[in-house]
Amino acid sequence: MPDSFSLSASRQGSVTVLALTGRLDLDGSREFDRQIKAMLERKDDRIVFDCAGLTHIASLGLRSLLAAVNNSGKSGGRIVFCAAPANVAQIFTIAGFEKLFTTYPDTATAVASFD
Question: Does residue 55 contact residue 19 with C-beta atoms inside 8 Å?
Answer: no
Angle between helices 59-74 and 26-41 (to 10 degrees): 10
Of 49 and 97, which CB lies nearer to another protein in the complex structure?
97
Q: Which of 52, 53, 67, 109 binds another protein (CB under 8 A)?
A: 67
Q: Which of 7, 20, 91, 110 binds another protein (CB under 8 A)?
A: 91
Using CB under 8 A as the binding rule, whether residue 94 contacts another protein is answered as yes
Give the separation between CA 13 and CA 32, rounded to whole angstroms: 22
Sign of the CA dihedral 75, 77, 78, 84?
negative
Using CB under 8 A as the binding rule, whether residue 59 contacts another protein is answered as yes
Interaction site with another protein (CB under 8 A): 25-26, 56-60, 62-63, 66-67, 69-70, 73, 91, 94-97, 99-100
